[in-house]
Structure 1
Amino acid sequence: MTDADTQRTDAPSNEIPVEECYRLLRTQQVGRLGVNAEHYPLIFPVNYGMDHHTIVIRTSPGTKLTAASHANVTFEVDEIDPIHRSGWSVLVRGLAEEVTDAHGADLVRRTHDAGVAPWAPGEHGHWLRLIPHHVTGRRVVPGELPPAVDPRAYL
């Protein structure tokens, strides 16, 4: 480690309380669903909505649906402000399950009422619910930027 490394000031990162994470999840429409499929972790952008503390995703048949159904998944949402070098990120780990009529009419109705409107064209007749097991969030606030050039480089 050099002196320049120890003098560098990183932007502070602050943990976000769980209830604030849920509030932030409700402010967005697009998140990233992480699944294990085809021997690799895959990440898909998805439109989503919320049913209380459950994430609702409307999707089409295929890899995403197959890999996520009854599987442990991750879900990430963020908002970044590049001008002010700030933002936040919420990460959810939980169990995803495809919603079918077997879940009961009330759950199916609540899932459909979550207001998920896919942006991508095509058939999106399948619904996933992500039941959170662990929710974390971080907020990045502007810090002092390191100098563009190390002043010790000059005689």
Structure 2
Amino acid sequence: MTGPTMEELSAEACSRLLATQGIGRLAVNAEHHPLVIPVNDAVDGTTIVIRTAPGTKLAAADHADVTFEVDEIDRRTRSGWCALVRGVAEEVGPGHRADLVARTEATGVQPWAPGGHGRWLRLIPTSVTGRRIVPGELPPAVDPRAYL
């Protein structure tokens, strides 16, 4: 049997994996503390699009350095991956070009949480990194020595 291995993921592989999910975690610095919040998201090229409501998260993220993380974990095989995006977030609104606003809204991000979520953030990446844990060889389901 072989043990699990850890492999680094390229930025391109991370972008492909990010596009497979619709929920991630946005990390901002708010009220003198790090704040990590689950958000609904989509990918537009290499940009992360988040739909949100007004409040602490939006105020802390707009024009700030933020981190965004998405992962997928399989507890049964003890495997999974994680993609981490660092960048600058910017609220998209009427002051932006019409084509950018339309492209942002066309991502179709639909929030799960109730309430008004009519605001949009775009996270422009400065760094994209990721890792994948690949499980080792699993032991046989039945020990062959159990049979005569």
TM-score, normalisation: structure 2: 0.89
The structure whose residues are more often strand, as a share, is 2
Which residue matches 2:62?
69
- Structure 1 residue runs without a partner (length 5+): 1-8, 146-155
The structure whose residues are more often helix, as a share, is 1
Q: Secondary structure at the match of 2:99?
A: helix
CA distance in 1, matches of 2:40, 2:56: 16
Q: Deviations over 1:39-73 (max 9, x none)?
A: 11000000001111100000001110000000000
Which residue matches 1:129?
122
Pick the aligned partner of 2:20 from 5, 19, 27: 27
TM-score, normalisation: structure 1: 0.85
Pick the aligned partner of 2:72 from 73, 79, 90: 79
Q: Deviations over 1:81-111 (max 9, x none)?
A: 0000000000000000000111110000000
Give runs of aligned pairs for residues 83-102 of structure 1, distance below 5 A. 83-102=76-95
Paired AA for residue 54 in structure 2: P
- Structure 2 residue runs without a partner (length 5+): 139-148
Q: Secondary structure at the match of 1:19?
A: helix
TM-align CA RMSD: 1.5
Aligned sequence identity (%): 66
* Ranges of 4+ aligned residues in structure 1 off by more than 4 Å: none
